Structure 1
């Protein structure tokens, strides 16, 4: 199955100048984050709006469904949680949605799915649906001023597309659609690892930074759309999900936790060269590479390994990975990370 969600993709310096034309004569309602609205209010039309705070939960979706039902379309302004919530609401109400990201942190603005959490921020599932994103607007003025740490976490999350797709499907595939997804994932990885990034360069929003933004949002989003289960998350995202019950990890961004999970995955599979390259990149970008970096004790290794082994994404792998194998990989990563950073 191929799932692509976006009908119109606009990545321009003044992308939001086209918003009123896209809305036309329809009634629109805005779902937004607090900081997102502060960053983009000067570019937005005057429409009814609802503040989103917290996680993408069934409770949030149900409340917003009641509020958004009278309108013809939904505008989603913010990061992944806001956008995933708006997509879920739009699908359940059968309304079109226009997505306006204010950070570059993941591919949520492109994908036809929502990652669902409970009220405490613990991952519970992801839902896919044939929702149509009528337009995705990336405005240089907003993104160049967005938090740099989210951009870095988005790059790491995009690296996962290659490492996890390869774990599921190998380095190539006979199926041309899956092969397209694999080659796109590999190209994203190569571009990220070979491009020099800094906050100064990000603020300048030059062409090479724009290319990286495209890897994080449309290209990363397209990989799963083409590859489906063959290019889904694997151990990197399974570890992320397994870390979610630990409060110490809540201040860390999604991509940062996925990056740690990728180290565990590459250690597990014995990909020494890729492990070393990834580890070096994470250190360069000041990302966590060990449980200690999250403020967690090694006492949780067995529990974390068990949680990871029962994650649906982990169980997509063949042969199945056991909790003991994961515990061994987590432990070896701790030792190796210490030796490589000392």
Structure 2
């Protein structure tokens, strides 16, 4: 490329930077998320079960995704063409999502028992009834994976054919997020008038893990502000990373006691409704997906699950990606989703 061509290109890009910068500053370039068509099919308190529309279901059992309880689930359906959910639908699955919603004063006394022994088993039954299936495949993302692991361990006879977890923390010693949000403080002092840990405390904990992220993000944005696709992706991702929800007070207490102070999943001392549960009770085909660049759930926090579950058939997929990069972007589209689809298809019946 000649000097004249390079100058012309840079002039054009500067014009695009100015245009996109003005649109962002004026708030007229917002990005819609969660656009994949779905239907609300069941509720339990603030928890909602969604079924995504798919006219090309080629495999059963249906897939139930259990999301985390401290952030919003639209990261799995960020934008058309960059949607984890969309890829799974194209893979031929009947996809459901269990979204915990936003905890309020009615949830302050909800602990692990509510999520693990109450809502998930009921959601599994609902999925089976609606899809006329005898089993489900289950996938847990982040702390939603902890819920699915405890469900599988406490309910080994649950109709679950396969179990997948993504960025799922089981060993909390290497995790800074727990210490940032809950550790080293009297949990009662963190609770708001509703009896829950407020969303801004959760957000501050995540932000403290990458204190320079805003600066580096703005530098990258300025460089690529001419690129419309990059700007849209930046806005969607940046919006999600600051969009957290309150954490139920009783669940926060149990997290501190069982996971932060006693590391009970690793030590085999986790107690659920009076029963000691062991992940060795999980025997179904198992897949663990983790990111080597994940600063929220480091690989050291996620990888011990392979030794803890009792499945004979178990696989670990370790990727050079961050917490969000496992479900959004090129790594997700090229590696994460195809691996999960292949795993599920091999364990499914073709219709």
Q: Per residue, is there more helix in 1 or in 2?
A: 1
Q: TM-score range by the shorter chain?
A: under 0.3
Per the normalisation by structure 2, the TM-score is 0.24
Could you say which structure has the larger radius of gyration?
Answer: 2
Per the normalisation by structure 1, the TM-score is 0.25
- Higher RCO (Cα < 8 Å, 6 or more apart): 2
